[in-house]
Structures are given as C-alpha cells and as structure tokens.
Structure 1
C-alpha cells in the first residue's frame, strides 16, 4: 500500500513550478515538505489532489492511477486553507459536504474535536480567526479517515498550547500504520519533532529526500576557528557553510566520515567542536542563495 508520484510536472502561468518529481509515501510516515516561499509546495498538494491537472506524470494509489479511477481520491484528503468557498458556509455545512464525499467520515471524531477545542459548528468560517480556521482544517482532515492527509502550514496562527495538542493528534493518526501525513510548513523546529522524513524542494525539483534518522547519524554540524580569515577548501568543497563571523565558521557536512574528519584536522583549526544539527540547519545549508548573505573571507 503506497502513494506514488511519478514524473510529475506542472506549469503555472507558463512557469515550470513542479519538475520531474518522483517519490513514494507509505502509511505510517509523517513527511515534511519544505522549501522557500513560492517553491511549489501548495501547487504540489493541489496537483496530487486533483485541483490542478498535471502536465505530465501520474499519481498512483496502490499502483493504480487516480486519474483513471477517481474513486481513489477518497483515499486522499487536502483541506486547502485558501479555498474561498469555505468562507461563506458554517463548519457544520462543510462537515456535511465532506461526509458525502468520504464514505468513512468519522462524524463522532469531528464533533468530539470541535467540542474539545471550542470551535462553533454553526458559525460561518469567515468569522473564524486565523488560528481557529487552521485548527478546523486539521480536525476536518483527520475526520475524513483518508489514508493520505495533506496539511499546508497547519500550525500557522495556533498558540503554543494548541500546537502541542495538534501535533499529538497527528502522531496518533499514524501510530497504527494506517495513515500517512504530508505536511508543508515553515515551522521547522516543531516539524522536526514529529516527522520521519523530509522532502526538500528547490527550483521546482526535489533537492533532497532525507530520512532524518539516517541524516542525524551521518551528518555533522561543526564550528571551527582558524588563526586567520582564510576558509579552507575542504569546508567549501565538502560542506555547506552556514555562517562566518570573523575567524569562526559554522559548516554542515552531510556525510561526515572518518576520512573527512582527518581532512578537517589537517586544516589545523585552533578550535573545533560539534554542534547539535537541526532541520533548520539543513534548510539554511541547502537553500540559502548567495544574495541572502555575504560570506566573509
């Protein structure tokens, strides 16, 4: 059982937004989709879920093309936070629509979560605050009982207490191995605490597909200090420099082998230490462009 995206391409306004995307997601996974603003995260979710038609490529559920079998869309759920038709109706009316669309819609779960978080079911969604609306989209998503849930910035606008509860809801959804969640978010610190894997998008392509457990075992974030401001070639060629402050350099090595450790020692730093490596570090290391900051040499 899997969701497979093959050779997916999509242009928006004659601009190549998604280019040759290939990846597979299986139930039991929470996958983070990260990238800079405008990289195509929302377009990816809309294309997979049929709001946009792909220019080329396929979306397969259990090796069956969704385009040929529209009923397979019941296995996918994407509550688009930018969907304008939501705004003029009540939460109860939206739940009725989704209950008609998803045969396994869990009305009891929907009612219980709406009550727990004190969201008014008879109030039109245009009167919801940003945080209320974000929380509602999550409740609606998990209530569909779809196998694959797509969440676009689900933590945006939620206070810290509600965010922690929401993260627990999402973890519970995948705990039994029947569901997978794909989350597009800029809230990297909290995303890191729940995801197993991250797809990093850059220029419309998948730049990296990280298994976080493997990455933590192989990568190192190092702080090194030299006697002068010269940056050794090994740092530039085999690492990602994420900051330079005078003679202090912070660099991420994605494959820190014993041989690389020896090369680093051979540069004769006056001080070096390993620092905790975060998802934010990987984001900065891979997605920072030259015009974002100037490396001092």
Structure 2
C-alpha cells in the first residue's frame, strides 16, 4: 500500500525526521505515537507531499508519489485544524472535493451528515470543535481514499462524539479495507483501534510492533507487603505504576523471572497478576516521565 523509505527532513535548521522507514498495508490502522514536537505531523505532511523530504522515497502501490502526483487522489489528509475549510459550507466543500477526488461519494457523505446531525448550511468555521472533526471525517471517508492520514482526530471533543468518531473509523476500515495512519495523544483510542504502533523519538521511528503482541510481553502485578518496599522496588528498576500505603502495582516482562522472584522474596501478603493496557506498557517501556 504505502511505503516510506529512509525519509529525512530538516526544518529551519533543525532535523525533525531521520531515516524513517515504514510500510502500511491495506486495511491496517497504524498508530503513530510520540511527544509533542517529535515529528508526527511532519511525517503526515511528507506523505501527502505538502512538504518534500530532503531524502528518501514515498511509494503508493510501488509508484513514487513525487514523480506521479496523481496517485495522491488515493490519499487524504485530515490535519488538527483545517483553515482552508473555514469559509465554506458543507455543500461547497463537497463541490470542491468532487473535483479533486473523482470517486467522491456524495450519497454516502449525505447519509453520514444526516446520521450525525451535522448542519449543512453553516460555514465550517461556525461549527463546534466536535462537529468540525465529524464533518472532516465525513468528507475524508466520502472521498473513498485508500489511505487516510489523521492528525489528532479526537483532540478537543467530548466523550460521546469521540465514541462516534472512533466507531466511524473502525466501520470504514472493516467495510472498505481503507488504511488509516493516525496520530494521537490518547492511548486509549490507539489501543481500541490500531493493529500496530510505532513511536517517534529522537527523530527516528522506533519500536514498530503489533499491539496485541506488545501487551502479551508484560504482566501487571498488584502486591501488598507488611512494610514500605518502595525504594527496594525502584532500585531494581521495576516500573511502579501505583502505590497506596503498602499496596503496589508494578509491571514486568513475563519472561523476567529474576525480577518476579525478587518481588516474591520480599514476602508479599497479596499477589494478583492482571492483564495490562497500552498506557501501562508505555510507562514500563519508555519511562514514566515521557509524555505522548
């Protein structure tokens, strides 16, 4: 589907991305994680050719996009904010996008607008943040692209709207084998939607992995001791997720029998092993002081 090959980009003298390679398959939802300023938005803009990489290639179905820009009709980019849309109503935007995307499905767009009760006569700039996100997604999906690039699509919207937005994405992938590359600081959204994830840090894409396999690597243990063992646990570099008095919640690799035995040697009064979620894994893998 889409192949990124050794992409590098420097902006205003600062290296933002270095040697980034990634392949996204048909019907895959890939979650791109990273701290603010890590290059997530830059990578999406490179794929859409809004900016051009200093080095590397971007191919869609083995066709280099830079040399054959018409293949961009198979991709659409939804940024955090879209000032281009501001002065237009829904119908005006449909007229514009139909000329750019020949497969634009007006009937489908109208159906989604009615389903989510999004006003069609208001200008985009006059809609609430949640309605803007929903309309942008409606227009993106109605363009019938093979790949959708989503930059923080659930940022700034309420829980009910988030649920609708996420379900719309999941349904689109299930019904049409659309591929989605999504950035988000909401790890619960990534966990719900994505097949694979990757983490942008130090200008590079690292730890590209299957989400289910990643979670299977770790185990969460809730334990209680008669005395305070916080320092002893930390000295062993065991990620401590939570502490309430002498009750602790820690995360370790399932295969790390040494750390597991260390915790047992402290003679716990309570020992419960539990499944983990994505946020807990990232605390263990990248350190609690990271922000994504």
SS in 2 for 1:231: helix
Superposed CA RMSD = 2.5
Note the alpha carbon deviations across 1:104-152, whole angstroms, 9 max, x for none. 1111111111122222223211111111111111111111110111111
**TM-score normalised by length of structure 2:** 0.87
1:295 maps to: none
Aligned partners of 1:70, 1:291: CA distance in 2, in Å?
38
Aligned partners of 2:158, 2:184: CA distance in 1, in Å?
16
**2:200 is the alignment partner of 1:201:** yes
**Contact 1:229/1:246 (<8 A) preserved:** no
Note the alpha carbon deviations across 1:160-205, whole angstroms, 9 max, x for none. 2332222222112111463111111122223311211111222222
**2:264 is the alignment partner of 1:265:** no
**2:210 is the alignment partner of 1:211:** yes
Q: How many residue pairs are counted as aligned between the two chains?
A: 286
**TM-score normalised by length of structure 1:** 0.86
Aligned partners of 1:20, 1:240: CA distance in 2, in Å?
31
2:96 maps to: 97
Aligned partners of 2:79, 2:69: CA distance in 1, in Å?
19
Q: 1:225 to 1:15 in 2, by over 3 A?
A: farther
SS in 2 for 1:220: strand
1:3 maps to: 2
5 Å-filtered alignment, 1:156-171, equals 156-171=155-170
Q: 1:212 to 1:289 in 2, by over 3 A?
A: closer
SS in 1 for 2:232: coil
**Contact 1:134/1:155 (<8 A) preserved:** yes
2:120 maps to: 121
Aligned partners of 1:291, 1:166: CA distance in 2, in Å?
27
Deviation at 1:7, TM superposition (A): 0.6
SS in 2 for 1:43: helix
Structure 2 portions without partners, runs of 5+? none
5 Å-filtered alignment, 1:57-206, equals 57-176=56-175, 178-206=177-205
Deviation at 1:34, TM superposition (A): 1.5
SS in 1 for 2:220: strand
1:256 maps to: 254
1:282 maps to: 281
**Contact 1:202/1:287 (<8 A) preserved:** no
SS in 1 for 2:205: strand
Deviation at 1:243, TM superposition (A): 5.1
Aligned partners of 1:67, 1:140: CA distance in 2, in Å?
25
Structure 1 portions without partners, runs of 5+? 293-297
